[in-house]
A and B are shown apart, each in its own frame.
Chain A
Amino acid sequence: MPAKSNAAAKSSDREIVITRVFDAPREMVWKAFTEREQMAKWWGMKGMTTRVLELDPRPGGTFLYVIRMPDGREMCGKWVYREIVAPELLVVVHFSTDNTGEPIPHPYDPNLPPEMLTTTRFIENGKRTTMELRSVPINETAAQRAAFNKLADAMEEGFNNSLDLLDDYLATI
């Protein structure tokens, strides 16, 4: 997959970018991302428990999971693996599903992009591992893409400050 230039990424393809350095060798981090028992140990937010229904890390294969939230509600999701280069590159399409693995609209709003293409790179860094994750919406309608881009634009322009103000305000009503 060719690296996208930053300029192009800025003008159209909005990304979520996360970089982390793990104090563990790359092989270990890779296994944690690609082995069934290990995925279940960390995938999901604090207080959630994850059951892995399926994990088949090869192109076209899937990772299907059920996450149980602290209030007992469950939600399902799926990765479909697009590209795998052990132990350095993992490209997946991520979306919400029902409990049979069928895609469902975005749980927050049907107008937001339901599928995210997530590219994760693992880079050796001495005894540590640097992980770079990029996530962009794919297979979305033009309206969904516009929604995502405008939102990302607004946030980039320092709109976050206004949102903080809004949060404060919302806390008072």
Chain B
Amino acid sequence: MVQQNMTQERLDATFSALADPTRRAILARLASGETSVSELAEPFAMSLPAISKHLKVLQRAGLIERGREAQWRPCRLAAAPLKDASDWLEHYRRFWEESLDRLEEYLRELQKKEKKNARKK
């Protein structure tokens, strides 16, 4: 149960982190490589403290990591939680899509058989 609550908290943090467009933009930027906070702040009309706040949220959600290298503490992506969540929704859709592909194939075979039988009659 404790384990489950921890997962719950982590997932809640992930989703509230993702709910903000600036934070999603930060993630997209980090997808092309690690970078410093000041570089991250550049494209946004935001102060460094404001960006730092967003980074803290992302970090708490386990979506990014900060390096320990003293001065510039680079940010990088730690995208596993994000991937899990999107995988789930996609997986359900994919399950249906692939089943329906097979259904299509099956119906085609069935139709062929029926036509053959009709000709025999």
Do they bind each other?
A: yes
* A contact set with B: CB distance below 8 Å: 16, 18, 20, 22-24, 28-29, 32, 38, 41-46, 106, 108-112, 116, 131, 133, 135, 143, 146-148, 150-155, 157, 159, 161-163, 165-170
Tell me the bound Cα distance from A166 to B72 in angstroms. Answer: 23
Contact A24 B107 (CB under 8 A): yes
Contacts of B111 in A (CB 8 A): 23-24, 28
Q: Classify the secondary structure of B's interface with A.
A: helix
Tell me the bound Cα distance from A143 to B107 in angstroms. Answer: 40
Nearest A residue (CB) for B85: A151
Further contacts, 9 of them, CB under 8 A, given A22-B103, A152-B89: A24-B111, A28-B111, A109-B85, A147-B11, A162-B24, A166-B79, A166-B82, A167-B83, A169-B31
B77-91 Cβ-contact flags toward A at 8 Å (1 or 0): 101001111111101
Contact A165 B32 (CB under 8 A): yes
Contacts of A133 in B (CB 8 A): 96
Contact B12 A143 (CB under 8 A): yes
Asked if A147 meets B89 with Cβ closer than 8 Å, knowing A165-B32, A169-B77, the reply is no
